[in-house]
């Protein structure tokens, strides 16, 4: 009991500090709320070492992403107190992040286990999963389309998308952005602009396409939860409402950027992987698994590395149990590695400029200087070699 009280205190502290985050607080609030809710459930007494390890990584990433908020309180109260407070705060933030991750992970693990049991027992549903999918798809599509045409027409064109549209206009391509995504923009933007006679219409057609992709992906997730039966049908409906009204989901659904479709492929991949782990497999699950895998490889330039890492972990975990899925992943990896240079050659795409390649380290070095810190002689030499010094 005392241990749980301490965990709850650290989680609440974690949530309080992150209130001032410059990112979406909704994410932290949902995770923290789920972690606090998990204490009302009987979870496993012991947490696996691997879960604690990944929980520590998660906690560290959250702190580094919010280091000014998490570690910069009370600087004006004296150096000694500042060091003491920052140290204690850092410990509480690290522990809070670990407890959030492990609690949510154990809660999800319990839900999935129960869901697999319910599925194997074959519960009857008043509404078929297939019908629930189409109801969810129609509801989310209509809601997001109304937002698009009433408040946000023709959609949001991100800076990256502006660059991609210029490539399409000038017929001068670069693989700085995934070529597969650039070609998708070309297809839908070109169709809309040709049929309706304006660039805005072209952007709107792409936005409609992306909204339908978002709705279909979310509906697939909700259908999977709904299939678990029992109370999970209610959870599916609640999850659907929450997903639909989250501000960043609404914004991303109408935003022309590669991140949206790539994120959808990641979600589809995870859900399809779960569905394939059940005793009841369908051809649809294998198709979704294949399409999402293909999207991960082609919709980000570093997506192939992510996919290959997942394939290695998948092979270690399942060994000889999932031969068909491993075969699918192998074929997709080989095909993606082959098609990427083919697209580059066909479009005469060039590689990014050198300055673009060092853009991130340049920003990191400049941030150090902006924050008032001095570069060492060795760091200055490296900076001079990379981009002429700072």
Q: Which residues on adjacent β-strands are paired with residue 156?
A: 255
Quote the CA–CA distance of 387 and 358 in Å, as a whole number: 8
Quote the CA–CA distance of 375 and 346 in Å, as a whole number: 45
pLDDT band at 217 (very low <50, low <70, confident <90, very high): very high
pLDDT band at 365 (very low <50, low <70, confident <90, very high): confident
Q: Which helix (H) or strand (E) holds 156?
A: strand 156-157
Please write the tens of the pLDDT for every residue from 255-302.
999 999 999 999 999 998 888 877 677 788 888 989 999 999 999 888
Listed in sequence order, the residues at least 6 apart from 300 whose beta carbon sits closer than 8 Å to its beta carbon are 178, 258, 262, 306
- Lowest-pLDDT range of 52-61, 216-225, 232-241, 338-347: 232-241
Instruction: Identify the top-confidence range among 104-113, 204-213, 295-304.
Output: 204-213
pLDDT of 124 > 60? The answer is no
Percent of the chain clearing pLDDT 70 (strictly above): 85
Give me 43's structure tokens: 């979870």
Quote the CA–CA distance of 159 and 179 in Å, as a whole number: 16
Q: Find tokens 């009302």 and name the residue.
A: 40
Number of Cα atoms under 13 Å in the Cβ half of residue 291? 14
CB 292 within 8 A of CB 269: yes
Asked if omega into 36 is within 30° of 0 (cis), the reply is no
The pLDDT of residue 76:
55
- pTM for the whole thing? 0.71
């Amino acid at each position: 009991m005392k241990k749980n009280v301490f965990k709850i205190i650290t989680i609440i502290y974690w949530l309080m500090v992150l209130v001032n985050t410059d990112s979406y607080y909704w994410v932290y609030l949902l995770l923290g709320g789920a972690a606090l809710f998990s204490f009302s459930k009987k979870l496993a007494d012991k947490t696996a070492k691997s879960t604690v390890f990944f929980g520590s990584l998660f906690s560290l990433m959250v702190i580094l992403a919010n280091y000014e908020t998490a570690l910069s309180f009370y600087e004006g109260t004296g150096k000694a107190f500042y060091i003491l407070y920052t140290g204690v705060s850092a410990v509480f933030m690290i522990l809070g992040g670990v407890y959030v991750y492990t609690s949510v992970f154990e809660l999800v693990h319990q839900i999935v286990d129960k869901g697999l049991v319910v599925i194997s027992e074959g519960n009857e549903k008043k509404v078929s999963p297939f019908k629930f999918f189409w109801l969810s798809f129609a509801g989310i599509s209509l809601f997001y389309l109304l937002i698009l045409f009433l408040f946000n027409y023709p959609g949001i064109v991100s800076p990256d998308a502006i660059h991609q549209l210029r490539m399409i206009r000038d017929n001068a391509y670069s693989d700085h952005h995934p070529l597969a995504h650039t070609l998708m923009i070309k297809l839908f933007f070109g169709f809309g602009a040709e049929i309706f006679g304006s660039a805005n219409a072209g952007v709107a057609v792409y936005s409609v396409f992306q909204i339908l992709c978002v709705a279909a992906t979310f509906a697939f997730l909700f259908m999977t939860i709904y299939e678990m039966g029992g109370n999970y049908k209610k959870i599916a409906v609640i999850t659907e409402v929450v997903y639909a009204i989250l501000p960043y989901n609404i914004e991303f659904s109408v935003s022309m950027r590669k991140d949206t479709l790539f994120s959808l492929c990641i979600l589809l991949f995870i859900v399809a992987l779960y569905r394939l782990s059940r005793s009841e497999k369908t051809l649809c699950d294998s198709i979704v698994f294949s399409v999402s895998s293909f999207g991960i490889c082609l919709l980000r330039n570093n997506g192939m590395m992510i996919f290959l890492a997942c394939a290695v972990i998948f092979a270690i975990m399942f060994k000889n149990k999932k031969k068909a899925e491993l075969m699918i992943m192998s074929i997709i990896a080989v095909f993606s590695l082959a098609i990427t240079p083919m697209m580059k050659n066909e479009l005469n795409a060039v590689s990014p400029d050198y300055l673009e390649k060092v853009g991130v380290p340049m920003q990191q070095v400049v941030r150090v200087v902006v924050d008032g810190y001095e570069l060492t002689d060795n760091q200055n030499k490296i900076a001079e070699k990379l981009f002429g010094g700072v």
